[in-house]
Amino acid sequence: MRYSQDHKAQTHQRIIKEASERFRKDGIGATGLQPLMKALGLTHGGFYSHFKSKDDLVEKALQAAGDQVAGLCEELFAQEKPLEAFVDTYLSEWHQTSPHEGCPLLTISSELGLRGQPSPTSDLVLKARLDQIQNTLEGENAAERSIVIMATLAGALLLSRSVADAGLAQQILDVTREHLKRSED
């Protein structure tokens, strides 16, 4: 049975969306192609009619995750207190417990970096956040401060996800959030 081009394009996007969520939640290495395709009701063999390789899918999934997060960030940085809105959301319980929907820099990008395969898409995602943060700051060293803020946010979120003690995880988020807000006043 032959499917329309529209059906193939929709299936392609479904695969990318599912992979984007699974790569952010479980990691690239832990996400097998066969279970990924099966979850979508597709065969493993059909994967190669959509992508050249798993690496090709990883890059497209990272782009999709970056685009998804970019939309949220545009909303946050359009608010009256944009940096505060961004910090509150980045260090929120939702972001801490929903890696499949959140920042791909902590999961997909970090795994690619550990593998020695950094992605130009990671650069674009990071630079977009740095630019948004920098645009909220005043002073000569705004570019450097934006790097410190983003690194602090990513580090705090990563640490909060890595501890078993829920109280400690929340404390990491709360202390970091309050420190960043005080330092920007």
Residue 95 is encoded by which pair of tokens? 């972001």
Residue 1 has a pLDDT of 55
Extents of the domains making up the chain? 53-184
Residue 110 has a pLDDT of 85
Count of other CB atoms within 10 angstroms of residue 119: 19
Residue 174 has a pLDDT of 98
Report the sign of the C-alpha dihedral through residues 67, 88, 97, 123, in that order. positive
Instruction: Give the Å distances, CA to CA, from 171 to 68, 96, 105, 154.
Output: 28, 12, 22, 15
From the list 178, 161, 156, the residue with the least C-alpha distance to 96 is 161
Q: Average pLDDT across each block of 10 residues of the chain; the chain has 185 residues. List them in order.
A: 75 95 94 94 88 94 95 96 97 96 89 87 95 95 97 97 97 97 77
86 contacts 132 by C-beta, under 8 angstroms: yes
Note the pTM of the prediction, 2 decimals: 0.88
CATH superfamily of 53-184: Tetracycline Repressor, domain 2 (1.10.357.10)
123 contacts 135 by C-beta, under 8 angstroms: no
Residue 87 has a pLDDT of 98
